[in-house]
Structure 1
């Protein structure tokens, strides 16, 4: 009896010592882990520089990205395309435009395409997956039938190759920068939908859902107010990773000639397409936009993987 009393007294003392300490939320703990993760720091720095260049870069470039003032220095017939110099750090392209200015200004278009496309996919994917997950987890027999119908449509979209699906969307709507955003966002909808639906189904089996149901809380209120907020973390991580693939897929569509029909507008995918026919004369024209795409996608991937490790209990270090 005395031993048990001693243990209780010890527990009381520990409780008193830590009475002022407060527990941390999932996001606060994840942020603390991200700050200690080298991959997250590197990815954040890369993305910070990318966003900074996209926002203020067009105001700092030495020349207009559409100016062809140096076209008299270019002669493709004689394989002359001037390279880097003191006045033109990346040289001049085949139309006599400053390549450095076009790469910097092209970052804004690339960022716009990636963010808008990911935002479209995230929004409609969450609406679709959230509704399906709520129907399955809390909607009874009728709800599971609705979930089954939605998921079969999602499975059909997932069964198609993403690039082929994007090309089909562009072929229907016509080539343009807006169409590329819609197409890239459309192919990411089923990924977000299935991910959120699975996360909500797992969360619907938690004890707090059983407790809320026993107290008479309405099912849809439980789904929207409790299950959905606790299921959104993996979807946000996937959005970070999707930004990287969205930039690559948008560049691929532009590379296929399905992007902005105006080649004078600087965008990394379009620049890569234009430079392909001059690969033997000036291979550097393909290197600059390609390296920019790779580094940007690498930054998004590093940050996304670090977020996944920070938010997933199974992967926490």
Structure 2
């Protein structure tokens, strides 16, 4: 047998060793999807999320009135505690300025979804880069790589040492009051969570058989990380992203409630609506109940789906 033939066989064996885990990963996702379809928790969460997304997309177009128009202001007297409750033309009643609450809830869903998604993407992207670099250095970087990983993770530990809401409030207070500030502040809080999760998953994958086989066959370290280790480390990160959406919506509402959200109170957003309603809670509690229930149900939907995905992807829970 010629040397070239032997080399070709070795290459084919290397490809099989390197793709074995990928095939396992693909079957893992198929099995996880089958488990999700049988999970009542996943179905409920997915339905809630789907309804929320549809509402956020079509809400501004189906709102019966302008969310900023003070059409019925002469019917509301907040100084005397006189408010208009639910009625035929105003399903949720009126706020303290005579604006239709149902229309504001519909339009405010889009703002709430936008804040949650953008904030989560900020945390996911930056955390993915930091965690991926740390995991790559720690897994295949030798002594120098482990020192770099140690420096990166000490920085992440500093961020984790601060309470998340306090860190978000500090960032928002420094940057000024705006909706963009809320997105950045909530997104920065999510960075260390994604970074540590991806790094830990990569460290676990770094000792797998396919990585050892690829290293022994001389495959470049960068290729091992990008084509094998990272793809097989993504499942817990995706699950965490689903759970972080719920957290982001709650924290964004908290910042808006503290007065660090959108400076224009006329633009409806559920957190801002809660802030406005607190002054009139004794006389018009439903002004606070509607946005609070919207936030709770939406966060619950993301949480249910995230927990169901975690259970479906956990090998210890698979039958």
Whole-Å separation in 2 of the counterparts to 1:43 and 1:216: 46
Whole-Å separation in 1 of the counterparts to 2:86 and 2:74: 16
Residue of structure 2 equivalent to 1:174: 176
Aligned counterpart in structure 1 of residue 232 of structure 2, from 222, 227, 230: 230
Residue of structure 1 equivalent to 2:274: 272
**Residue 93 of structure 2: SS of its match in structure 1?**
coil
The offset of 1:193, in angstroms, is 0.1
1:74 aligns with 2:76: yes
Post-superposition, which runs of at least 4 consecutive aligned residues in structure 1 deviate over 4 A? none
Residue of structure 1 equivalent to 2:13: none
Residue of structure 2 equivalent to 1:16: none
Residue of structure 2 equivalent to 1:109: 111
State the TM-score, normalizing by the size of structure 2: 0.91
Whole-Å separation in 1 of the counterparts to 2:98 and 2:28: 53
The superposition leaves residues 137-157 of structure 1 with CA deviations (integer Å, 9 ceiling, x where unpaired) of 110000000000000000000
Whole-Å separation in 2 of the counterparts to 1:53 and 1:72: 30
Give unpaired runs (5+ residues) of structure 2.
Answer: 1-22
Residue of structure 2 equivalent to 1:60: 62
Q: Which has the higher contact order (CA 8 A, sep 6+)?
A: 2
Give unpaired runs (5+ residues) of structure 1.
Answer: 1-21
Whole-Å separation in 2 of the counterparts to 1:29 and 1:54: 31
Aligned counterpart in structure 2 of residue 208 of structure 1, from 200, 207, 210: 210
The offset of 1:171, in angstroms, is 1.4
Whole-Å separation in 1 of the counterparts to 2:317 and 2:117: 27
Aligned counterpart in structure 1 of residue 193 of structure 2, from 191, 194, 197: 191
State the TM-score, normalizing by the size of structure 1: 0.92
Q: Paired residues, what number?
A: 296
- Aligned Cα root-mean-square deviation (Å): 1.1
Residue of structure 2 equivalent to 1:28: 30
The offset of 1:219, in angstroms, is 1.2
Whole-Å separation in 1 of the counterparts to 2:231 and 2:249: 28
The superposition leaves residues 280-312 of structure 1 with CA deviations (integer Å, 9 ceiling, x where unpaired) of 110000000000000000000000000001111
Whole-Å separation in 1 of the counterparts to 2:265 and 2:110: 15
Residue of structure 2 equivalent to 1:45: 47
The offset of 1:316, in angstroms, is 2.5
The superposition leaves residues 213-271 of structure 1 with CA deviations (integer Å, 9 ceiling, x where unpaired) of 00000112111110000001100000000000000000000000000010000000000
**Going by fraction, where is helix more abundant, 1 or 2?**
2
